[in-house]
Amino acid sequence: TFNPPENIWFNGELMPWQNAQVHVLTHALHYGSSVFEGIRCYQTHNGPSFFRLREHIERLYLSAKIYRMQIPYSFNELVSACHEVVKSNLLENAYLRPVAFFGYGSIGVNPKHNPVEVSVAAFPWDSYLGNDSIEQGVDVCISSWNRVAPNTIPAAAKAGGNYLSSQLIVEEATRKGYIEGIALDVNGYISEGSGENVFVVKNNTLYTPPFTASILPGITRDTIMQLARGLGYDVQEQNMTREALYLADEAFMTGTAAEVVPIKSVDDMPVGSGSRGPVTQQLQEAFFGLFNGTTQDEQGWLEPVTTV
Ligand code: PMP
């Protein structure tokens, strides 16, 4: 059960959680016309700190741009909203959910007479794929659903409507006893999980699908690519067929909510040894080390929550 925090930021101000309400004829409710982000804040030796906050807010504006949605707040206002909502709820480890959406106005599909409303929520959230997932890994299947085809619904926008595809993928996977599904793109190449990007390790090289494989350009994906290159690994963005997962030495998924999660089997076939592999573990240590201080934050990815 969800234990809501006290405050939420909605349309320019902090307010009690239960006061952030919309009408049932909100455009986004009928047509999926929202864009959103998922951001984590970690407790670090410098206090609670956002991870790559500015890249996430940047991606929110890029998602809005694709839909010609004008977010009525500046970049700095939304960054401040993230700080305020964590601070006012006295959170240390938190997940933030900024969302911008076409609100109540006309009921037609074209949202030109609908206001853009914006909210930022923050709340504690454990690792998305389960507390054991980080060490134990997860069993996944290849989804019977393909990811959205190019020039249909844009995969690069993190938009509400895209998550109808994600729902079909994860509902099918969990109904069949798996933790997550990995979808292929319309050409049959590996795309992504319902809420995670995918990596394969083969002969100490990392492979991950390119942007053209209908993926969300994940910020954790980018983080892992940079950390891996820093550790001396060759990282290739490359199309992969389904059997690349079956024949991988290791595989893992990345996402803000899921973090870095080993894949222990695909379609009931063990990946490599069938448990977390050494490259995955090394990359997890580099990733989580950013928050516990054992990895130096060379890129300035961490931004302490302001105390004033
Ligand atoms: N793909 C999809 C479909 C997602 O929902 C997410 C989570 N935002 C990701 C990939 C991973 O992206 P990120 O690392 O930026 O959270």
For 196-240, how does the pLDDT look when each residue is reduced to its tens digit (9 = 90+)?
A: 999 999 999 999 999 999 999 999 999 999 999 999 999 999 999
Give 191's strand partners: none
CATH architecture, domain 7-123? 2-Layer Sandwich (3.30)
**CATH class of the domain whose range is 133-292:** alpha beta
The residue count of the chain comes to 308
Domains 7-123 and 133-292 share a fold: no
Kindly list the domain boundaries of the chain, sorted by start residue: 7-123, 133-292
For 177-191, how does the pLDDT look when each residue is reduced to its tens digit (9 = 90+)?
A: 999 999 999 999 999
Mutation pick for ligand 1 pocket among 95, 256, 301 (CB with most ligand atoms within 8 Å):
256
In the chain, which residues have pLDDT < 50? Answer: none
| Atom of ligand 1 at shortest range from CA of 220 | 14
User: Tell me, what DSSP letter sits at residue 269?
Assistant: E
- The reported pTM is 0.98
Token pair 């997860």 is at which residue?
Answer: 138
Q: How far is the CA of 256 from the centre of ligand 1 (A)?
A: 7
Which residues touch 283 (CB under 8 Å, ≥6 apart)?
224, 227, 228, 231, 252, 260
Token pair 């995670």 is at which residue?
Answer: 196
Residue 197 DSSP SS3: strand
Is ipTM > 0.90 here? yes
Query: Who lines ligand 1 at CB under 6 A?
Result: 38, 166, 192, 195-197, 216, 218-221, 254-256
Q: What is the pLDDT of residue 19?
A: 98
Closest CA to 36 of 114, 111, 108, 121: 121
Q: How far is the CA of 253 from the centre of ligand 1 (A)?
A: 10
* Separation between Cα atoms, residue 75 and residue 60, nearest integer Å: 10
Q: What is the pLDDT of residue 307?
A: 73
Amino acid identity for residue 72 in this structure: P
Nearest CA to ligand 1 atom 12: 218
Q: What is the pLDDT of residue 127?
A: 87
Give how far Cα 230 sits from Cα of 48, 157, 199, 202, 283, Å.
25, 28, 17, 18, 10
| Atom of ligand 1 at shortest range from CA of 257 | 16
Residue 86 DSSP SS3: helix
Q: What is the pLDDT of residue 193?
A: 98
Write phi, then psi, for 249 (nearest 5 degrees).
-70, -40
* Separation between Cα atoms, residue 132 and residue 130, nearest integer Å: 6
Could you list the active site residues? 158
